[in-house]
Amino acid sequence: MTNVQSKFLTPVLCTCQEFQHPWTKHCANASAGLLLASIPYCLRVYTMVYMISLMMRHRIPKRDDLIKTIRGILQSTAFLCTNAFSFILYNCFIRYLLGGYYWLTVSFVPAFFASFTALLVERPERRSLLTLYVANVATETIWNMAESRGLVRSIPHGQTLIFGVSISILLYLYRLGLHKTSCKDSIFNILRIFVGKPEEGPRTIAEAKPETSTTQSRTPLNLTTINGIVQAYGRFIDTLKSKHKSCPHKESCISYAAFGGLKPFIGGISLQVALKLIMNIKKIVQNRMNWRKSIFNRETLKLGIFLGSFSLLYKSVSCLLRRTFGKDDPLFAIPAGLIGSIAFTQYPDVTVALYVMWKTLQIVYNYGIEKKVLPKVPGFKILLYSFCTAVLFHAGVLEPKNLRSSYFKFLQAISGERLSNFNLAPFDVYGNNSHQNAREVIKNLNIVTKSNLPKFAMTS
């Protein structure tokens, strides 16, 4: 390991033409070609994104809405194109200054500068969303890189633990009512769907105060007799049908938990079916859809089972804690959230777990800044985005096996199919076996190079 690390400071005397644009000796042509190749793909991506966003408003768009949408599409396209072509630009420029490549300058450093430049082009209100997305993928990538080096080891249901801790913190803030003041974020609108508006805080002292009994105490039961057992059973049924005074809902606790879990269950299944129908619309039109294999299987139920079970467990535990302590308390959201997160084992999606984790960190960090507990770092979003994107570019070039397959395909598409043409053999000196690993990833993803020249090669 020490021998490999020492090579990181050793320059690789390879030109940028040999590495990334063998079809032209002019770096300007290589950058311009990548710019032209990335425009159609980026325009297509953001047209879809903004159209979906427009439809989700559930109203007929006005003229101003359409103009704003078109401007947003063009600006976001310019952002993504800048991120793509300026990578080649910075890469060639840094190699020219240093006379060769070092481990960090092969991809990480030029990608950092390219990402920093690109995010300045994008609208400020979209920077948080973009940073959150790349931080999500970069976290998984960094973990994979560390695991491949034997520095860390995955634990069973690790994603469930991440989700449970993160969602419990968000639910605690939700119960405190901070989502209305200091911690405003759209994720709380999603939480409201699954845990219900009755669990929303803050509750008044009168609503959350301990129960004071005004009725006479019940006669002790003699469970050694048949009559006593029947009475105990009757009291148990009455308890199930009743609502504790400190509970915020109107119906009985058992109805509140059961029907609260049923709605997300049905909603989750409906969402999964809708997504599968959209993804297979071509097969449906051509009447080649295998309905049993694609729709009627257990995979379709997983999201619904997770959402329904989470809501059922969270509400059940919350009601149980209120009955046990005779009062309501925002702290009950933490054990209820942790127990409810057990349902995540039915839908153990790493992307969802990391998204909730980063959302929680973002909200807590902003809250800490407002309370002057944490320092405000100028340009933190841009720096974090640049770092995370640089990690993804680095992995895409030198360690493709540690990168999520979907992101490798994205880099291949945005580069105008140039990534698969990069000559990585000179960088095998770093011990990652980059050239062979890249060939294997390209083969596994069925990436076929139709021509020796990429799109808009500009060979002159």
- Express each pLDDT in 412-430 by its tens digit: 999 988 998 899 999 988 8
Over 80: is that where the pLDDT of 298 sits?
no
- At 112, list the tokens: 């950092």
**Residue 212 — pLDDT band, cuts 50, 70, 90?**
very low
Distance between CA atoms of residues 121 and 72, nearest Å: 11
What value does the mean pLDDT take over residues 91-104?
93
The burial class, CB within 10 Å (0-12 / 13-18 / 19+), for 381 is middle
Q: Which of 203-212, 233-242, 339-348 has the highest mean pLDDT?
A: 339-348
- Residue 224's pLDDT is 67
Q: What is the pLDDT of residues 308-323, one digit of tens each?
A: 999 999 999 999 898 8
**Residue 112 — pLDDT band, cuts 50, 70, 90?**
very high
**Residue 222 — pLDDT band, cuts 50, 70, 90?**
low
Q: Which residues contact 296 (CB under 8 A, 6 or more apart)?
A: none
- Residue 5's pLDDT is 53
Indicate whether 418 belongs to any domain.
yes
Over 80: is that where the pLDDT of 282 sits?
no
Over 60: is that where the pLDDT of 38 sits?
yes
What value does the mean pLDDT take over residues 207-214?
50
- Cβ atoms of 415 and 37 closer than 8 Å: yes
**Residue 302 — pLDDT band, cuts 50, 70, 90?**
confident
The burial class, CB within 10 Å (0-12 / 13-18 / 19+), for 373 is exposed
Average model confidence (pLDDT) across the chain:
86
End-to-end CA distance of the chain: 44
Indicate whether 126 belongs to any domain.
yes
Q: How many CB atoms lie within 10 A of CB 112?
A: 23
- As beta bridge partners, residue 133 has none
Least confident among 102-106, 225-229, 375-379, 433-437: 225-229
Distance between CA atoms of residues 210 and 289, nearest Å: 58
**Residue 407 — pLDDT band, cuts 50, 70, 90?**
very high
Question: 29 phi and psi, to 5 degrees?
Answer: -65, -40
What value does the mean pLDDT take over residues 223-237?
66
DSSP-based three-state secondary structure for 12: strand
Indicate whether 291 belongs to any domain.
no
Rounded (10°) CA dihedral 184, 185, 191, 197: 30
Indicate whether 255 belongs to any domain.
no
- Cβ atoms of 453 and 418 closer than 8 Å: no
- As beta bridge partners, residue 101 has 12
- Residue 453's pLDDT is 80
DSSP-based three-state secondary structure for 99: coil
Over 50: is that where the pLDDT of 98 sits?
yes
- Residue 323's pLDDT is 84
Indicate whether 408 belongs to any domain.
yes
Least confident among 41-50, 261-270, 327-336, 400-409: 261-270
Domain count, the chain: 1
**Residue 219 — pLDDT band, cuts 50, 70, 90?**
low
Indicate whether 304 belongs to any domain.
no
- Cβ atoms of 104 and 398 closer than 8 Å: no
DSSP-based three-state secondary structure for 165: helix
Which residues constitute the domain of residue 54?
Answer: 2-154+378-444
**Residue 300 — pLDDT band, cuts 50, 70, 90?**
confident
- Residue 213's pLDDT is 44
Least confident among 169-178, 247-256, 303-312, 334-343: 247-256
Indicate whether 406 belongs to any domain.
yes
- At 453, list the tokens: 């020249």
Indicate whether 31 belongs to any domain.
yes
Q: Which residue has the higher pLDDT, 280 or 156?
A: 156
